[in-house]
Amino acid sequence: MRVGDVQSMLSQISPDISANKSAQDVTGSFEQTLDGFVNNVNDLQNKANDAMDKMASGQAADVHEVMIAMEKAKISFDLLLQVRNKMLDAYKQIMQMQV
């Protein structure tokens, strides 16, 4: 894979990342992206909890929507854990590098 291919994939994922941005800009963008992802996971968890509370109190009539909300929350949380694990692995590899 060439550098141009990676830059093209990054620009498709996040249009504000370009080849001429400084490392601090990319770091800030990564931090914002990660923060947004964590907030989205938290929102999905809260929606699933609200749906379960409504179901328990008898307000929710559709079991399918409750299950869908719970699965969305579970899948997004699992993805967040995988991202965290990959970041920890990368950090450990960087710390083991010889300088």
Domain ranges in the chain? 23-96
Query: At residue 7, does pLDDT exceed 60?
Result: no
- pLDDT, position 1: 46
Contact 73, 48 (CB under 8 A): yes
**17 burial class (0-12, 13-18, 19+ CB within 10 angstroms)?**
middle
- pLDDT, position 17: 47
What pLDDT, in 10s, does the model give residues 13-71? 555 545 555 656 666 788 898 899 999 999 999 999 999 999 999 887 789 999 999 99
Interacting residues of 65 by C-beta distance below 8 A, sequence separation 6+:
51
Q: How far apart are the first and last CA of the chain?
A: 26
Q: What are the backbone dihedrals phi and psi of residue 18, each rounded to the nearest 5 degrees, phi first?
A: -135, 170
